[in-house]
């Protein structure tokens, strides 16, 4: 065990150095020379101080992202090889003979210890955002959100554990297929449920207060044959200076949501372009395409997890302190494999998402025809969030669900020339 812990820590340290070298030394800043001085060059719409802060903040944030992901895997690995996962199962077994209660107790302790050990990393991220004036939240408000996160995730995951291990015990060879079948209605239910139950736990949502602007947005919706009655506003200024708008939910609970920071920092024309972009997602059924893609990836993922868990338990079960997949002690291995496969599939899912975002951009510019407002909205999004206009390649591949701001501004400029 000491040997594996030493190897793991050394490998993690080397990985961290490689990430640091790539982000802080190897990757350059600024835009390619051909685009210097264009509307895509941050030097044309950011001050010198904003340029420096943008580069610093984005680089540090990307570094934290890449080193945090394997840290979570490392914690799960340590829980298994130290026997702590087995001790937690013994505690839960001694507390109750009812499997549902055993599962709830086991996962509570697992969630609690992971949250405690991950807290310093989360705190660093919060302080970083605070230092660069992205976050406006107080520490107490941030902690409140962390506690809500903990309990929401705990309740949802406890339900998943109960169903998952019932399936493994009942259908040992085909549990992954039945789990996938059940994930379809569960995912759809969550998407329907989230906008009206989960999201309001964090923020207040209400119909857009600017009725003149809402009328113009609804006129756009009518042109797109979208049956919208309200545009929702959310009070994100209590938490951040960043800007955003999004589509969430399905069916009668689908919503177009504007952050109040977006309303205060963008002009009316820029907001209408943003709204047309969100309507583009609706018109092109991107939400349902996303659901279909997620379900396809989850089917492949569950199949691979089944095969990999069997392999690891057969070869290293004694070392990992796991006797069988049917034991709760195997759940950290399930989470570890799920995390690795999700990270490995992110380049594919991000590529699809970036294609959808570009399609929505082009839909919005065709609907509004206001290239200047569109470009200025992207420039202001970059300034408000201190985001890099042209991030390093690996950052784009693994983190970006949207085209880079360089790409978005350039293809809008190209579209403008064709008119």
Active site residues: 278
**What does the alpha-carbon distance between residue 330 and residue 324 come to, in Å, rounded to a whole number?**
7
Which class for 393: exposed (0-12), middle (13-18), buried (19 or more C-beta within 10 A)? exposed
- Residue 180: both structure tokens together: 């996938």
Phi, psi of 32 (to 5 degrees): -55, 150
**What does the alpha-carbon distance between residue 22 and residue 188 come to, in Å, rounded to a whole number?**
39
240 sits in the region (left: phi over 0; alpha: psi -120 to 50; else beta) called: beta
3 state SS for the chain: CHHHHHHHHHHHHHHHHHHHHHHHHHCCCCCCHHHCCCCCCHHHCCCHHHHHHHHHHHHHHHHHHHHHHHHHHHHHHHHHHCCHHHHHHHHHHHHCCCHHHHHHHHHHHHHHHHHHHHHHHHHHHHHHHHHCCCECCCHHHHHHHHHHHHHHHHHHHHHHHHHHHHHHHHCCCCHHHHHHHHHHHHHHHHHHHHHHHHHHHCCCEEECCCHHHHHHHHHHHHHCCCCCCCCEEECHHHCECCCCEEEECCHHHCEEEEEHHHHHHCCHHHHHHHHHHHHHHHHCCHHHHHHHHHHHHHHHHHHHHHHHHHHHHHHHHHHHCCCCCCCHHHHHHHHHHHHHHHHHHHHHHHHHHHHHHHHHHHHHHHHHCCHHHHHHHHHHHHHHHCCCCCCCHHHHHHHCCCCCHHHHHHHHHHHHHHC
**What does the alpha-carbon distance between residue 299 and residue 305 come to, in Å, rounded to a whole number?**
10
């Amino acid at each position: 065990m000491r040997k594996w812990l030493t190897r793991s820590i050394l490998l993690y340290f080397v990985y961290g150095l490689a990430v640091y070298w790539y982000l802080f030394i190897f990757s350059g800043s600024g835009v390619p020379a051909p685009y210097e001085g264009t509307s895509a060059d941050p030097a044309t719409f950011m001050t010198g101080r904003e340029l420096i802060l943008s580069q610093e903040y984005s680089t540090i944030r990307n570094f934290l992202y890449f080193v945090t992901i394997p840290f979570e895997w490392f914690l799960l690995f340590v829980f298994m090889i130290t026997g702590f996962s087995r001790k937690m199962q013994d505690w839960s077994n001694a507390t109750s003979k009812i499997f549902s209660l055993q599962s709830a107790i086991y996962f509570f302790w697992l969630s609690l210890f992971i949250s405690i050990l991950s807290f310093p990393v989360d705190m660093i991220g919060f302080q970083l955002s605070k230092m660069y004036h992205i976050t406006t939240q107080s520490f107490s408000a941030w902690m409140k959100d962390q506690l809500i996160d903990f309990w929401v995730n705990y309740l949802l995951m406890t339900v998943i554990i109960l169903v998952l291990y019932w399936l493994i015990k009942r259908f040992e060879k085909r549990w992954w297929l039945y789990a996938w079948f059940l994930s379809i209605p569960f995912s759809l239910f969550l998407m329907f449920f989230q906008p009206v139950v989960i999201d309001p736990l964090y923020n207040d949502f209400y119909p857009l207060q600017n009725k003149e602007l809402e009328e113009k947005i609804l006129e756009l919706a009518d042109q797109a044959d979208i049956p919208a009655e309200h545009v929702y506003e959310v009070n994100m200024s209590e938490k951040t200076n960043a800007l955003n708008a999004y589509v969430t939910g399905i069916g009668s609970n689908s919503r177009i949501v504007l952050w109040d920071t977006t309303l205060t920092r963008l002009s009316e024309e820029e907001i209408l372009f943003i709204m047309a972009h969100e309507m583009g997602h609706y018109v092109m059924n991107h939400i349902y395409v996303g659901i279909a893609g997620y379900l396809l990836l989850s089917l492949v993922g569950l199949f691979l997890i089944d095969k990999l868990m069997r392999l690891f338990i057969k070869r290293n079960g004694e070392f990992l302190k796991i006797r069988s997949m049917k034991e709760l002690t195997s759940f950290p291995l399930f989470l570890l494999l799920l995390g690795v496969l999700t990270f490995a599939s992110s380049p594919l899912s991000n590529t699809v998402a970036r294609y959808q975002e570009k399609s929505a951009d082009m839909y919005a510019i065709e609907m509004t025809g206001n290239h200047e407002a569109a470009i200025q909205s992207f420039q202001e999004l970059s300034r408000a969030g201190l985001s890099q206009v042209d991030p390093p390649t690996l950052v784009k591949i693994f983190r970006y669900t949207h085209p880079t701001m360089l790409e978005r501004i350039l293809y809008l400029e190209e579209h403008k020339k064709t008119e």
